[in-house]
């Protein structure tokens, strides 16, 4: 009963409090439950089942306490609300075929890839696993819904010629600093958009970034990137200012950076120029130069080595050279 009371209260507070405030309330409740016993009062009134909104808010509050990012929480929330818009049932009554229909209808109407549908399936699966553990539902309707086969297309890194074309048309120090920073650090575009000058150690060529799950890690800035970064930032006195500014003097957003890369690609005559391709290029080049894949994993901020291996593209010459060493 204590746990039910805790989750219902946190669900109510979820909309008006941040993560730290909710954690403080949760700790206070834990202390109080050591001294008091909570019991449910029975009345003659008819007690309605918990509504879907209440269950979803409780779930989101639980995930926030586990440290999920606000971006991830929004993805959970959107996946659940869209399911319930199309399948207007109480969560306890949703069946496997309801979810199958929802996923199939979503793919056919939105013309999305299997990978996108799989992501939606993962969000729904996580929720129903939680609902089963919390005894909100008796049986998980996702158990018979398997992962959808995805057609994996290898995204190639930039070739030396493509990089030369890109570098040749960069028109100012900001563009040069940004391109070399992406290529040197392998940062995600969202990580770059959140950086401030104070995050960069100009003496040691290091930068602290905040990645997925709010995990901090250190990335490294090579001499070329540092040269253009210092040219772009001759006055580093304002340590709290964003590292990269847009044309209006504000922090460059993820969208700003992606649009700039598309513009650079058009000017250079290079297709598929986007920030993530610089990340893949950094990983592949590091492997070509002999860096162990475990170290590349740390720099990229991957929790699983398998993910890093997808980023590191082996070419025919690399494989042949390694074979000749042992042949």
Task: Please report the pLDDT score of residue 323 as a whole number.
Answer: 64
Q: Interhelix angle for 52-65 vs 2-13, to 10°?
A: 90
Task: Please report the pLDDT score of residue 99 as a whole number.
Answer: 95
Cα–Cα nearest to 304, from 177, 230, 212:
212
Q: Quick one: tokens of 119?
A: 């992501």
Q: From CA 322, how far away is CA 325, in angstroms rounded?
A: 5
Domain 160-326 fold is hpI Integrase; Chain A (1.10.443)
Exposure string for 212-225, b = 16+ CB within 10 A, e = fewer:
eeeeeeebebeeeb
Per-residue pLDDT of the chain (327 residues; tens, 9 = 90+): 556 666 776 666 666 677 777 777 777 767 766 666 665 554 433 333 458 889 999 999 999 988 888 888 999 999 999 999 999 899 999 999 999 999 999 998 988 888 889 999 999 999 999 999 999 999 999 999 988 776 666 678 999 999 999 999 999 999 999 999 999 999 999 999 989 999 999 999 999 998 887 789 999 999 999 999 999 987 766 788 899 999 888 899 999 999 999 999 999 999 999 999 999 999 999 988 888 889 999 999 888 888 787 777 666 666 666 667 776
| Phi and psi at residue 218, to the nearest 5° | -105, 130
* Cα angle, residue 299 at apex, residues 171 and 167 outer, rounded to 5°: 15
Task: Please report the pLDDT score of residue 42 as a whole number.
Answer: 42
Task: Please report the pLDDT score of residue 309 as a whole number.
Answer: 79
pTM attached to this predicted model: 0.64
Q: From CA 110, how far away is CA 115, in angstroms rounded?
A: 13
- H-type helices in the chain, by residue range? 2-13, 19-32, 52-65, 70-86, 96-110, 114-133, 160-169, 173-185, 189-193, 223-232, 254-268, 275-288, 293-300, 305-311, 316-326
* Boundaries of every domain in the chain: 2-133, 160-326
C-alpha distances in Å from residue 272, one per residue of 171, 187, 266, 308: 19, 18, 9, 21
Task: Please report the pLDDT score of residue 148 as a whole number.
Answer: 78
Task: Please report the pLDDT score of residue 48 as a whole number.
Answer: 35
Cα–Cα nearest to 221, from 257, 192, 186, 191:
186
């Amino acid at each position: 009963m204590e746990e039910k009371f805790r989750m219902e209260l946190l669900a109510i507070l979820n909309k008006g409090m941040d993560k730290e405030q909710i954690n403080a309330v949760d700790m206070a409740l834990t202390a109080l439950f050591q001294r008091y016993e909570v019991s449910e009062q029975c009345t003659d009134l008819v007690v309605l089942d918990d509504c879907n909104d209440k269950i979803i808010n409780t779930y989101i509050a639980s995930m926030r306490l586990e440290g999920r990012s606000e971006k991830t929480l929004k993805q959970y929330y959107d996946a659940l609300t869209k399911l319930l818009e199309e399948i207007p049932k109480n969560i306890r009554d949703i069946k496997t075929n309801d979810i199958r229909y929802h996923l199939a209808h979503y793919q056919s109407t939105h013309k999305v890839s299997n990978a996108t549908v799989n992501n939606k399936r993962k969000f729904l699966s996580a929720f129903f696993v939680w609902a089963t553990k919390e005894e909100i539902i008796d049986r998980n309707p996702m158990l018979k819904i398997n992962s959808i086969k995805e057609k994996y297309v290898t995204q190639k890194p930039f070739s030396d010629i493509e990089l030369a074309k890109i570098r040749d048309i960069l028109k100012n120090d900001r563009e040069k600093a940004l391109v070399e920073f992406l290529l040197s650090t392998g940062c995600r575009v969202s990580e770059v958009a959140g950086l401030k000058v104070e995050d960069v150690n100009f003496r040691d060529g290091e930068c602290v970034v905040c990645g997925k799950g709010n995990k901090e890690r250190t990335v490294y800035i090579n001499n070329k990137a540092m040269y253009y970064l210092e040219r772009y930032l001759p006055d580093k006195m304002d340590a709290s200012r964003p590292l990269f500014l847009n044309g209006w003097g504000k922090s460059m957003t993820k969208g700003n950076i992606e649009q700039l890369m598309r513009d650079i690609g058009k000017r250079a005559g290079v297709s598929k120029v986007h920030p993530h391709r610089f990340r893949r290029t950094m990983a592949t080049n590091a492997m070509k130069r002999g860096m162990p894949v475990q170290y590349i994993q740390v720099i990229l901020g991957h929790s699983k080595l398998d993910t890093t291996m997808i980023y590191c593209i082996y070419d025919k010459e690399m494989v042949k050279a390694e074979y000749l060493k042992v042949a």
